[in-house]
Structure 1
């Protein structure tokens, strides 16, 4: 979320706002007259530019990557992160960007750090005031759950503020370029999804019990290009865009279905019942297959065809962490600490292994090796070897890890929590080999 929103498995009874409904005014491309165009980007600078990396699926581009670290070992630098957030780091050129929230000052901020040293570069207050009530945000969640997205020119984010989802674009020096309310939001546990980029559009999800929607805005101007209604259920997954079945598809789980939309227009292409009412994980794809899991209250992990046909289904729930796929093996770590490996074609369990602890962060995979952190600050590094689980290392850093890692140039960037209770604070840590 990680853009990750952290939920327990039992819903809370929230009395405030449950009855409010905000009918969604749908906007078509014909009505908005916003044109969707290709955008030239410098891929060499977009090292880890959005939630779950370059391909939005947790797969790290081929590079040497360390597997062992500790509080001092292979820590290149660490720096303080003000406030609290589950926004995962992104890496663009020589900078790292995060969102955070300062609870007592009611500030929602975007931060920039120097990639080489960890030194702060700038801080921008995106909002001051307007936080939802405490009972409208889960105690494990924050007011800065979503991960930023960057096209090399602008940074994009969205926060729940003043009972609405407000999208913001900033330039790479931290100046606000535009802000746009994309729709109202009735909060059950808070807001979690991260934006996804498609050509000249920035696409946001906002499933909520007052009236959910998907909305796309023009990245340069902030004008709403299209907006489609999604119903009145609360769910927390980020959308993704992938080319599946020979066409670009905007995919999202939650609201008791996995659904596909045309990312250029918002037109629904298909919807397949499955997963759960509430999901947090982001859909992933491989070839012409689509994978999703959830959630609450139902338990299901599914594989779908490019047209939404259900190819296989297992009664296994992976709620907060997202899935990752490598060499026709589908990996997941459940919220309660069980690692799964499935045959991606058949759904047969290859192995399962209890890692221990509880998990919210999503795994990444690099050169056949899977990395995933639990809520006690332990990162497990393992692989599938001859269709058996092989633990490579268990690495402790800090006291908790909610955000997912970013990777660039053989370095790992982790947002961690240090200490407990009122002494808890957050750090951004750069991990890498200290020898050439």
Structure 2
């Protein structure tokens, strides 16, 4: 039982006056924190209130409940699931809940919220909140005749696709949006910075790294410009500067999603100079380990897998995939065979990790876990496929079926155990371009294109388009999110919530 002694403004396991933590107007906040933990609260009548700054109070209270009652707890997800990270709750691109099938400019759009600036990070969702990042320039960028700086002595930046112009100052912004209404709950500027390098003119931004949440805190990652930990009320808990200015190939820009596992935050910094894989304590930002990596520019998010009681971090990169011990950062195994510009994230099921590249020597490999050392050319590679692989989009793995989508709109479905195709390189009904990754929900695959349309395809061994939905003048680069039966689409300037009525859902 937890006593809140209102006559002294304190909380603790003891009902005596003068014990516990002091703060005015305590009741509502106490109930909000206590109820999810199953703590019985006894309130006593108030008479006077001491004074203490709100921010400090909230930090102390969060720590108090975590330390005293459930030190290893986190808020339980809702029955419809959350979308706490870039590839969804299980890192496979699949939602727990269903999602709408049909919508348009005038149908089933619950709300659309303007997002300032530019960003291609995907929304993440917990409880009643949506979180995303954006970069807001102080002024429109001016063209520059100066070339982009050289990239760490290995490969040049700049043209043909990167922005080789001087950039104005940008505010790196973290936002929270109400899931039900689309109202902006809070907006925080993590940092104001003059970027050292540009980004791909069509597909890049200074806010392309998708954040991650554990339901207590939000971790917003801006690559070279740092990582910022907030509580869900928007209060900064800690921040960390990586001490690096990444030089990306052709100045394409940064964009690797943050990864959270247990109490460890994993951040990868592969670029044209000397990079590293970084493990931080999620509670304090303290460094756990830092492993040097000599891989060139890479946009694939790391994947944490567990095999035979041992967790490891799998990181794809140009030419080679490597795996590291989750606790120490020491390399476990490596396997050559990937192409250049590695972007798709690995996925995992039943002791097999699937890694893919789609540019210059494209390849998809299914690698069985349990070995150490160099696995190149060994029978640890269960099967491989070099046709129809994704260049940008990460795959969806569900029900032993592996779905991959090319930038030009060819979809394949393979048997994940054997690599044999159910269907292979099937073109969609009309020409499309894709940069976002597919997501799945209740037997349906959602493909958000650059060309206004989101195509809904039936999941399974046969190719079938269920619906094509158009939102006018939209270009979808960010990967969608699904939670609570709703679909969230980030366009160039707005976040959309697609929501069907209960009757519409029941009719399907």
Q: Normalized against structure 2, the TM-score is what?
A: 0.73
1:42 aligned partner: 75
Match of 1:354 among 423, 427, 438: 427
**In the TM superposition, what is the alpha-carbon distance from 1:137 to its structure 2 partner?**
4.9
Q: Does 1:403 align with 2:478?
A: yes
1:280 aligned partner: 343
Distance of 1:264 and 1:276 partners within structure 2:
29
Q: Does 1:312 align with 2:383?
A: yes
Match of 1:331 among 403, 421, 430: 403
CA contact (8 A) 1:245 1:306 kept: no
Distance of 2:202 and 2:108 partners within structure 1:
33
2:14 aligned partner: none
Question: Cα deviation per residue 1:2-44 (whole Å; 9 max; x = unaligned)?
Answer: xxxxxxxxxxxxxxxxxxxxxxxxxxxxxxxxxxxx9422232
Q: Does 1:206 align with 2:273?
A: no
Paired residue secondary structure (1:141)? coil
Match of 1:57 among 92, 104, 126: 92
The 1:139–1:397 alpha-carbon spacing in structure 2 relative to 1, beyond 3 Å, is closer
Paired residue secondary structure (1:220)? coil
CA contact (8 A) 2:280 2:287 kept: yes
1:431 aligned partner: 498
Larger Rg: 2
The 1:377–1:178 alpha-carbon spacing in structure 2 relative to 1, beyond 3 Å, is same
The 1:384–1:95 alpha-carbon spacing in structure 2 relative to 1, beyond 3 Å, is closer
Match of 2:438 among 363, 376, 381: 363
2:323 aligned partner: 260
Paired residue secondary structure (1:389)? coil
Question: Cα deviation per residue 1:337-371 (whole Å; 9 max; x = unaligned)?
Answer: 10011111111222131123111111111222111
CA contact (8 A) 1:196 1:239 kept: yes
1:179 aligned partner: 239
1:373 aligned partner: 448
1:32 aligned partner: none
The 1:107–1:299 alpha-carbon spacing in structure 2 relative to 1, beyond 3 Å, is same
The 1:139–1:67 alpha-carbon spacing in structure 2 relative to 1, beyond 3 Å, is closer
Question: Which structure exhibits the higher relative contact order, with contacts defined as CA atoms closer than 8 Å and separated by 6 or more residues?
Answer: 1
1:28 aligned partner: none
Query: Would you tell me which structure has more helix in proportion to its own residues?
Result: 2
Question: Cα deviation per residue 1:380-403 (whole Å; 9 max; x = unaligned)?
Answer: 111245x32011011112421011
Distance of 2:294 and 2:441 partners within structure 1:
37
The 1:138–1:227 alpha-carbon spacing in structure 2 relative to 1, beyond 3 Å, is farther
Give 5+ residue unaligned stretches, structure 1.
Answer: 1-37, 418-425
Q: Does 1:94 align with 2:157?
A: no
Distance of 1:39 and 1:397 partners within structure 2:
43
CA contact (8 A) 2:197 2:253 kept: no
Paired residue secondary structure (1:100)? strand
Distance of 2:98 and 2:360 partners within structure 1:
40
Match of 1:79 among 69, 91, 113: 113
2:192 aligned partner: 128
**In the TM superposition, what is the alpha-carbon distance from 1:113 to its structure 2 partner?**
0.5
Paired residue secondary structure (1:182)? coil
Distance of 1:60 and 1:137 partners within structure 2:
30
How many residues align? The count is 385
1:390 aligned partner: 464
CA contact (8 A) 2:75 2:216 kept: no
CA contact (8 A) 2:203 2:477 kept: no
Distance of 1:110 and 1:67 partners within structure 2:
30
